């Protein structure tokens, strides 16, 4: 019975199985005979959660200028939450190691985003878009020279999952990674960082590994319709929020002399089931009132050259976010949120050599207090980061310690009579 079994840069110094063996034939034949039964039991239902681990390769080193290009090898870990209309929220972490031009290459990429899947027969094809940070060791440039430690990163790719059993699939994936790592300032540069011709910012990424579905949802054919009453709409709410900075800290940026005040609307919708006891909500936000208070005169680094301040208006939009809400239905409900988006200002932010458009990343913890069946008050504190992610040579940024006060209204859908 079968069982499952080298271009120098400015300021740098150049630098066994034997097929004829009779004892192997019987196990090999048994494996071939068992394989159709093994695959025949592969999963056909949608997995609420997916965990994957993969061997991964990057097409070039981070200092791989023309003539000295060398791929890097590493691994990738991925967690995908329950799907909503075939769209999953994904957390991803990729690590690469190697050496090129006499310098160690140690890259870490924590990212998050969305994955859209479509089943064709037993296989599932998917597309993926991820946003996050890239982190490197300080001496990654040629011959141990210094480079920037962090960069905004984007990954766009896709692949195919082929089922192996009820809970495991083989994944093959490929895509493109974009970063903006730069070199440390030299004595002739006007900017904090600079890029040399040929320094890579786009990389091909390939990976293959195993996807594990800890449990499966029942297939649609197994679900018995017990009532003609339409299902209740998912829990959703809209919050009218006001946020203001009360201090600074150095997490991803080093500016300590600007202040931020924002106000607008946040939409939360129960989308991805539960995880570690928390309700998993999609979050979207728009902040039509965004006011940046910064020094009236600054240098290219963002350092103040004046004791006077000016206020710069802007608009922030956050299309991607996740909220984890505990004690759903109780009077007091703690939560954690993480949100990513963009903010635009009417003038270059934080430096005359900065950018009008900047990227945002917010994390916050807080509490919701029920007032009535429809209204709740929201109190929270967190970090509001924005920078231009080195889209221009000067990349000042801020990490604001923010408090949040909001009023949340629970939305209710009307049902028409049959």
What does the pLDDT average to over 275-280? 90
Q: What's the confidence (pLDDT) of residue 394?
A: 76
Per the CB < 8 A criterion, the answer to whether 388 and 354 are in contact is yes
Q: Is the per-residue pLDDT at 351 higher than 60?
A: yes
Q: Is the per-residue pLDDT at 168 higher than 90?
A: yes
Please give the residue that has the higher pLDDT: either 1 or 108: 108
Per the CB < 8 A criterion, the answer to whether 7 and 15 are in contact is no
Q: Is the per-residue pLDDT at 316 higher than 50?
A: yes
Q: Is the per-residue pLDDT at 110 higher than 80?
A: yes
Q: Is the per-residue pLDDT at 43 higher than 70?
A: no
Least-confidence region, from 33-37, 43-47, 140-144, 392-396: 33-37
Please give the residue that has the higher pLDDT: either 417 or 86: 86
Residue 415 tokens read as: 């049902």
Least-confidence region, from 113-127, 129-143, 184-198, 238-252: 184-198
Q: Percentage of residues in the chain with pLDDT exceeding 70?
A: 79
Contacts of 89 (CB under 8 A, 6+ apart): 80, 81, 112, 113, 114, 271, 272, 280, 282, 322
Contacts of 373 (CB under 8 A, 6+ apart): 410
Q: Is the per-residue pLDDT at 390 higher than 90?
A: no
Least-confidence region, from 24-33, 147-156, 246-255: 24-33
Please list the residues that pair with 334 across neighbouring strands.
367
Which domains, from first to last, does the chain contain? Answer: 43-216 (2.40.160.20), 232-410 (2.40.160.20)
What does the pLDDT average to over 370-393? 88
pTM over 0.85: no
What does the pLDDT average to over 233-259? 83
What does the pLDDT average to over 212-219? 71
Angle at 274 between CA 273 and CA 278, to 5 degrees: 135
> Average model confidence (pLDDT) for the chain?
81
Q: Percentage of residues in the chain with pLDDT exceeding 90?
A: 51
């Amino acid at each position: 019975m079968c069982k499952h079994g080298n271009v120098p840069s400015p300021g740098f110094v150049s630098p066994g199985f034997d097929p004829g063996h009779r004892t192997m034939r019987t196990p090999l034949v048994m494996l071939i005979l068992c394989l159709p039964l093994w695959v025949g039991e592969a999963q056909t239902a949608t997995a609420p959660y997916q965990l994957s681990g993969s061997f991964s390769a990057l097409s070039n080193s981070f200092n791989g200028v023309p003539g000295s290009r060398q791929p890097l090898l590493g691994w990738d870990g991925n967690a995908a939450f329950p799907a909503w209309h075939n769209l999953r929220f994904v957390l991803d972490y990729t690590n690469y190691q190697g050496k090129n031009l006499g310098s160690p290459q140690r890259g870490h990429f924590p990212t998050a985003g969305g994955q859209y899947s479509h089943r064709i027969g037993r296989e599932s094809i998917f597309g993926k878009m991820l946003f996050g940070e890239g982190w490197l060791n300080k001496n990654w440039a040629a011959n141990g020279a210094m480079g920037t430690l962090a960069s905004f990163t984007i990954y766009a790719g896709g692949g195919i999952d082929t089922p192996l059993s009820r809970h495991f699939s083989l994944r093959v994936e490929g895509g493109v990674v974009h970063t903006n790592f730069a070199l440390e300032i030299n004595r002739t540069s006007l900017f904090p960082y600079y890029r040399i011709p040929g320094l890579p910012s786009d990389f091909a990424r390939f990976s293959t590994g195993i996807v594990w579905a800890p449990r499966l949802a029942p297939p649609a054919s197994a679900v018995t319709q017990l009532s003609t009453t339409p299902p209740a709409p998912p829990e959703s709410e809209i919050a009218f929020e006001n946020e203001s900075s009360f201090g600074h800290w150095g997490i991803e940026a080093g500016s300590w002399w600007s202040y931020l005040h924002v106000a607008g609307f946040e939409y939360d919708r129960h989308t991805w089931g539960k995880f570690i006891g928390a309700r998993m909500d999609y979050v979207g936000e728009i902040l039509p009132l965004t006011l940046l208070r910064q020094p009236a005169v600054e240098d290219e680094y963002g350092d103040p050259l004046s004791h006077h301040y000016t206020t710069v208006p802007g608009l922030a939009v956050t299309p991607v976010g996740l909220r984890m809400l505990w004690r759903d239905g109780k009077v007091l409900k703690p939560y954690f949120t993480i949100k990513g988006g963009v903010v635009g200002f009417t003038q270059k932010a934080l430096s005359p050599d900065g950018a009008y458009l900047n990227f945002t990343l917010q994390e916050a913890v807080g509490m919701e207090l029920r007032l009535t069946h429809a209204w709740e008050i929201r109190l929270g504190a967190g970090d509001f980061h924005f920078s231009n992610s080195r889209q221009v040579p000067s990349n000042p940024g801020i990490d604001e310690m923010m408090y949040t006060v909001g009023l949340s209204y629970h939305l209710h859908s009307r049902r028409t009579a049959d």
